[in-house]
Amino acid sequence: MPGFELFADKERAEVQNVLDSGVLMRYGFDAMRNGHWKALELEKGLAHRMQTQYAHVVSSGTAALTVALASAGIGAGDEVIMPTFTFVASFESILALGAIPVLVDIDDTLTLKPEAVEKAISTKTKVVMPVHMCGSMANLDALKTICDKHGLLLLEDACQAIGGTYHGKPLGSVGDLGCFSFDYVKTITCGEGGALITNNEAYYENAHKYSDHGHDHIGNNRGAEEHPFLGYNFRISEMNAAVGVAQLTRLDEFLNIQKRNYTILREALSDIPEVVFRTVPEGGEENYSFLNFFMPSGELAQIAHQELIEAGVDGCFYWFDNNWHYYKKWGHLTELKSLGKLPKDVVESLPDYSKANFSGSDQWMSRNISCLIKLGWTEAEVKARAKQMAEAIRAVL
């Protein structure tokens, strides 16, 4: 990742088709299109690839999460369980609906710890939202069992994990709903974009209406369409969708390159006994977009991360101190910093995260180093990088 590294003739041709038609909006202007419906084409391709009945593309991964939650009726005061390690969009999408993000610990998968999820369930809990961070998945069997037991929705945030699988099923297709991001730094990109997938017809019908001001999309006269409920504008443009159409056809190409590069790096570090790799649940295959490993201690992880930087190994992250991806730096959530007044349900029901104990997460994140796998590397460059990484890590042990 990311897919923009390998932009080529396919992407240019799809975009040119849109420019030639002159129609940049996904709905309407039928006579001008010359048969080009890029958003619809991307949705059909995505549903086929993800083995689901329905797919709906929107303006971002954040929009996909928001629309997915709304499509299932999640609203004010409802609780959504999510992990301490994710991108801020996860809790932003929940708060946007007046719902409550309930943070719980992760385990050595770097995703939701099932035992922590079970303990966090209350009478207000409606959704469990595992986030498949850095290309690998949660223990979905265990989470699905919990959801079935308590009558909860399982929503997979697979924004960073397209192409990964669990017991042969594409990530995102295991739960009731799944979401993807196609922003500029994802494995496949639209520049900006996202999508939700589902096998539930009611959720799909709600989603395509909600993301377009509540339009029911019945008939071929947009101005005559009805509005069965309130909605917002989360539409993707035809230009962005066109890039996605091309990129989706190249997903296997990208995954194969990622796996090659990931494997070379992992094999080099496997000779270091103190390095322990992230756990991938049984039956799972990650999409190889990141290589994640644990050092023996948090102190050694910080030193090793700095050593990697000084050795010129870019793209390695120490998420424990990251402003965007770990709860410790989410002061805007903890302090409820908002431009306007927040809903009463949020103000009164949000847990006091300034006093929360997430030591279970800290023990894993403090020891973790996460390395981005790029598509543009040659095999020789990856091997040289693997040697640099191994030498840098050995130097601190």
Report, as residue numbers or ranges, the catalytic residues.
Answer: 186
Tell me the sheet residues that pair with 334: none
What whole-number distance in Å separates Cα of residue 190 and Cα of residue 183? 6
Is there a contact between 153 and 128 (Cβ–Cβ < 8 Å)? Answer: yes
Q: Which of 109, 101, 172, 174 is nearest to 136 (CA)?
A: 109
Please give the backbone phi and psi of residue 83, each rounded to the nearest 5 degrees, phi first.
-85, 165
First-residue to last-residue Cα distance in the chain: 30
The helix-helix angle for 379-396 and 251-270 (nearest 10°) equals: 40
What whole-number distance in Å separates Cα of residue 84 and Cα of residue 102? 9
Beta-strand relationship, 284-285 and 194-198 = unpaired
Is there a contact between 286 and 255 (Cβ–Cβ < 8 Å)? Answer: no
Which residues are CB-neighbours of 129 under 8 A, at least 6 positions away?
A: 65, 80, 81, 82, 90, 94, 155, 156, 157
Please give the backbone phi and psi of residue 88, each rounded to the nearest 5 degrees, phi first.
-60, -20
The string of DSSP letters for 198-259 reads ES-HHHHHHHHHHTBTT----SS-GGG---SS---B-PPBHHHHHHHHHHHHTHHHHHHHHH
Is there a contact between 78 and 126 (Cβ–Cβ < 8 Å)? Answer: yes
